[in-house]
């Protein structure tokens, strides 16, 4: 998330090494410019899964299958449904999933996530929704798939601080980037104010938002 601070470097130094097969996927992602979750953000995601112990996970944004595989390893009893429209990345993701023998647990639903609500609903409800796709569409993804998350379930959104730009730590030069950052700010504000959820943004990795679905329309302030 921008230039790493000494605190961030220290935390990263404490993370355990990943397996050789996981590191190969990370290397591929770096070489082919495929965005994947940052190590500290991934560790936070996996810890929440270990606490939650989900049986069914919905992921918006498969890419090359990295996050789905990491979630599958951490949540051993979970079945994962993951959405992706990029055919080249789907091909790579399927190969990676096969390499980990997870074809029976990780299921790719191909197509534009915003057009897959009916098919996704057929496999619900879900214990966890993980959003890690087009940043400018986060609010639409949340609105579309949140109803499929069970009460007591988690909605986890990555990149909500986007390299420090959302909080104003880094100046934005591109008009398109500024538009996307403004949408992320709006998403963050709406999610933090939504009384149906208990939400917190963790300044880890590229910013990870965790929303606990409590199902109540009104809650007192805390």
Q: What is the pLDDT of residues 199-218, one digit of tens each?
A: 999 999 999 999 999 976 54
Other Cβ atoms within 10 Å of 219 Cβ, number: 11
Q: What is the pLDDT of residues 127-174, one digit of tens each?
A: 999 999 999 999 999 999 999 999 999 999 999 999 888 887 788 878
Supply the pLDDT for residue 172: 83
Average pLDDT over the chain, rounded to an integer: 92
Q: What pTM did the predictor assign?
A: 0.92
- Distance (Å, rounded) from C-alpha 9 to C-alpha 195? 35
Asked whether the beta carbons of 196 and 147 are under 8 A apart, the reply is: no
């Amino acid at each position: 998330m921008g230039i790493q601070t000494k605190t961030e470097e220290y935390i990263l130094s404490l993370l355990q090494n990943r397996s050789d097969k996981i590191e190969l996927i990370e290397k591929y992602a770096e070489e082919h410019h495929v965005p994947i979750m940052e190590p500290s953000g991934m560790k936070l995601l996996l810890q929440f899964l270990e606490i939650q112990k989900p049986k069914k996970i919905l992921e918006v944004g498969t890419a090359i299958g990295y996050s789905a595989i990491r979630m599958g390893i951490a949540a051993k009893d979970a079945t994962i449904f993951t959405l992706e429209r990029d055919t080249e990345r789907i091909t790579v993701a399927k190969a990676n999933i096969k390499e980990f023998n997870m074809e029976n647990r990780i299921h790719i639903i191909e197509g534009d996530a915003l057009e897959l609500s009916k098919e996704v609903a057929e496999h619900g409800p879900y214990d966890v929704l993980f959003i890690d796709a087009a940043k400018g569409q986060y609010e639409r993804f949340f609105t579309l798939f949140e109803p499929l998350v069970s009460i007591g379930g988690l909605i986890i959104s990555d990149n909500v601080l986007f390299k420090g730009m959302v909080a104003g730590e880094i100046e934005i030069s591109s008009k398109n980037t500024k538009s996307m950052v403004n949408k992320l700010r709006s998403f963050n504000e709406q999610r933090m104010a939504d009384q149906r959820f208990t939400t917190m943004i963790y300044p880890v990795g590229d910013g990870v938002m965790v929303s606990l679905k409590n199902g109540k329309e009104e809650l007192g302030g805390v």
